[in-house]
C-alpha cells in the first residue's frame, strides 16, 4: 500500500467525515477558498485513490449487501445530486454494517453511511442533510485541497487511520483521535472552513431538492443535545469549544434564505430503517420477542414498519409460521408495498414452497417490469431454487 494512498486515506477520514468543528459564522456568503486542488491532485488520481480505498473496505466485508438498502441510498443520493451545480465525479453510495452514527466521503465520489445513522434518524430530512453535506465535500474537492494544504505534513499513525475508517465505533474513533493528536492548528482551521462550506452548499442542495433546509440545524442540535445527555463530548479534535455551538446557529441562519418546506418520509426510507434494525441486531430471536411485545402493547411509532421488522426477525430466527402470519397482515394492510411481497416470497422459499414464491415475484415483476430490485430479487430466487439458466436469461 503506497504512502500516498495512506496519506490520502487519513485525510478522507478526518476532513470528510463531517466530525470537525466549524468557525463562527460571519457572513451568509461562503469564504473564497480558491482552487488550489487542481495543482495538487488530478481527477484521475482522486478516482484511482478512491477505488483503492474501496478495495480495502470491501476486503473487510463490512458493507451492507442488501438490494433494498442499496436502492434507497442511491435514490437519496441522486435526488440531491440532480440539484448540484457541478458533479465531475461519478458518485457511488454505500452503507457500512456498523451501528455507530457516522458518514464519510472518499475521493472519487464515494460516499459511505454507517447503518446506525439510518436507524437512529428520526426522519428522512435528517438523513438527506447528512447526504447533502457529504456530497458537498466531494463536489468542492475538499480532499484535494487538504492534500495541497498539507503537502509537507507527514501522516502520523497511518495504520490507525485505516482502522478508523474500517472499524468505526469507539475503536475507530480512538484510532482517529490518536492519529491526529499532534496535527497542526492550521490544519484544524482549514478543515473548519471545509465544514462551513459543506454545510452551506449542503443546505442549498436540501432546499433545491425539496427537503427541509432547517434539517441540518435540527440534526446538529440533536447530536449536540444527546452528547451532553450521555456525558460524551461532541466529536471534535483539538478544539476548545464544543463543535456544534456555532454550527447550529450557522445552519439556522443559512436555512432562513430558503422557503420553509418539508417532505414526508418515503416508503423506502421506512422499509430500509426496519430492515437495518434487523440486520444490525445480533440476536434475531430476542429482537422478535421485543418487537412482538411492543406491537401487542401498542408501543410502536410506525406500526406497519415495526410489524415488517418483526416479520423479518421471525424469518431470520426460523420462526416461519409466525413470520407467515405477520406477512399476511402486512399484505392485507399495504399490498402496494413490494417489500412485503419480497419477504413473503422469502418465507415461502424457506418453507419449501418454491413455486409459490416464484409465482408471486413473477407477477410482481410483470406489474413493474422496470424495477431492477424486483428483477434482481427474482433472479436471486431463481438461482437459489436451481434455475440459474433462467436467471441468466433474465439478467
Tell me the sheet residues that pair with 105. 111
3-state secondary structure of 150: coil
Look at 38 and 236; give whichever has higher pLDDT. 38
Is 134 annotated in the active site? yes
Q: What are the Cα distances from residue 209, in Å, to 126, 253, 260, 271, 316?
A: 13, 19, 13, 21, 37
Look at 21 and 121; give whichever has higher pLDDT. 121
3-state secondary structure of 334: coil
Is 348 annotated in the active site? no
Q: Is the pLDDT of residue 301 over 80?
A: yes
Distance CA(246)–CA(393), nearest Å, equals 57
Q: What percent of the chain has pLDDT over 70?
A: 72
Distance CA(34)–CA(188), nearest Å, equals 18
pLDDT score recorded for residue 34: 40
pLDDT in tens, 317-326: 999 999 999 9
Look at 34 and 250; give whichever has higher pLDDT. 250
Tell me the sheet residues that pair with 92. 110
pLDDT score recorded for residue 245: 62
Look at 365 and 244; give whichever has higher pLDDT. 365
Query: What domains are there in the chain, each with its CATH number?
Result: 3-255 (no CATH), 267-394 (1.25.40.10)
Lowest mean pLDDT among 134-143, 197-206, 228-237, 367-376: 228-237
Confidence bin at 100 (pLDDT 50/70/90): confident
Q: What percent of the chain has pLDDT over 90?
A: 51
Q: What is the mean pLDDT of residues 87-104?
A: 87
346 is written with which cell numbers?
422469502
pLDDT score recorded for residue 190: 57
Q: What is the mean pLDDT of residues 175-185?
A: 44
Q: How far does Cα 148 stand from its chain's mean position?
A: 28
Q: How high is the mean pLDDT of the chain?
A: 79
What is the Cα Rg of the chain in Å? Answer: 22
pLDDT score recorded for residue 40: 53
Look at 155 and 69; give whichever has higher pLDDT. 69
Confidence bin at 224 (pLDDT 50/70/90): confident
Of residues 52, 124, 195, 199, which has the active-site annotation?
199
Of residues 134, 212, 250, 377, which has the active-site annotation?
134
Residue 388: HSE in the Cβ half-sphere, 13 Å Cα cutoff: 1
* Residues whose CB is less than 8 angstroms from the CB of residue 324 and which lie 6 or more positions away in sequence, other chains included: 344, 347, 351
Amino acid at each position: 500500500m503506497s504512502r500516498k494512498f495512506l496519506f490520502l486515506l487519513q485525510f478522507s477520514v478526518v476532513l470528510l467525515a463531517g466530525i470537525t468543528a466549524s468557525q463562527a459564522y460571519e457572513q451568509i456568503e461562503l469564504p473564497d477558498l480558491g482552487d488550489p486542488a487542481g495543482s495538487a491532485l488530478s481527477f484521475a488520481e482522486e478516482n484511482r485513490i478512491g477505488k483503492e480505498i474501496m478495495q480495502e473496505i470491501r476486503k473487510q466485508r463490512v458493507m451492507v449487501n442488501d438490494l433494498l438498502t442499496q436502492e434507497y441510498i442511491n435514490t437519496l443520493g441522486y435526488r440531491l445530486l440532480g440539484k448540484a451545480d457541478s458533479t465531475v465525479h461519478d458518485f457511488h453510495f454505500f452503507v457500512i454494517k456498523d451501528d455507530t452514527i457516522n458518514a464519510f466521503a472518499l475521493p472519487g465520489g464515494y460516499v459511505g453511511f454507517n447503518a446506525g445513522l439510518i436507524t437512529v434518524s428520526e426522519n428522512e430530512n435528517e438523513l438527506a442533510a447528512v447526504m447533502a453535506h457529504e456530497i458537498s465535500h466531494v463536489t468542492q474537492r475538499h480532499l484535494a485541497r487538504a492534500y495541497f494544504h498539507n503537502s509537507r505534513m507527514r501522516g502520523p499513525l497511518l495504520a490507525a487511520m485505516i482502522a478508523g475508517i474500517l472499524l468505526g465505533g469507539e475503536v475507530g474513533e480512538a484510532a482517529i483521535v490518536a492519529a491526529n493528536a499532534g496535527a497542526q492548528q492550521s490544519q484544524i482551521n482549514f478543515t473548519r472552513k471545509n465544514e462551513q462550506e459543506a454545510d452551506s452548499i449542503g443546505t442549498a442542495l436540501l432546499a433545491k431538492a425539496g427537503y427541509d433546509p432547517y434539517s441540518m440545524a435540527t440534526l446538529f442540535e440533536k447530536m449536540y443535545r444527546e452528547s451532553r445527555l450521555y456525558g460524551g463530548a461532541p466529536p471534535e479534535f483539538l478544539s476548545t469549544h464544543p463543535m456544534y455551538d456555532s454550527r447550529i446557529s450557522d445552519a439556522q441562519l443559512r436555512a432562513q434564505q430558503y422557503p420553509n418546506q418539508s417532505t414526508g418520509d418515503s416508503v423506502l426510507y421506512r422499509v430500509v430503517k426496519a430492515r437495518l434494525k434487523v440486520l444490525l441486531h445480533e440476536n434475531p430471536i430476542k429482537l422478535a420477542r421485543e418487537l412482538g411485545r411492543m406491537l401487542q402493547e401498542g408501543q410502536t411509532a410506525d406500526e406497519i414498519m415495526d410489524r415488517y421488522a418483526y416479520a423479518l426477525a421471525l424469518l431470520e430466527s426460523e420462526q416461519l409460521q409466525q413470520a407467515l402470519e405477520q406477512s399476511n397482515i402486512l399484505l392485507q394492510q399495504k399490498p402496494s408495498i413490494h417489500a412485503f411481497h419480497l419477504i413473503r416470497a422469502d418465507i415461502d422459499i424457506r418453507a419449501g414452497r418454491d413455486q409459490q414464491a416464484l409465482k408471486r415475484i413473477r407477477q410482481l415483476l410483470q406489474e413493474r417490469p422496470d424495477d431492477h430490485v424486483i428483477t434482481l430479487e427474482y433472479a436471486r430466487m431463481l438461482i437459489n431454487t436451481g434455475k440459474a439458466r433462467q436467471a441468466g436469461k433474465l439478467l
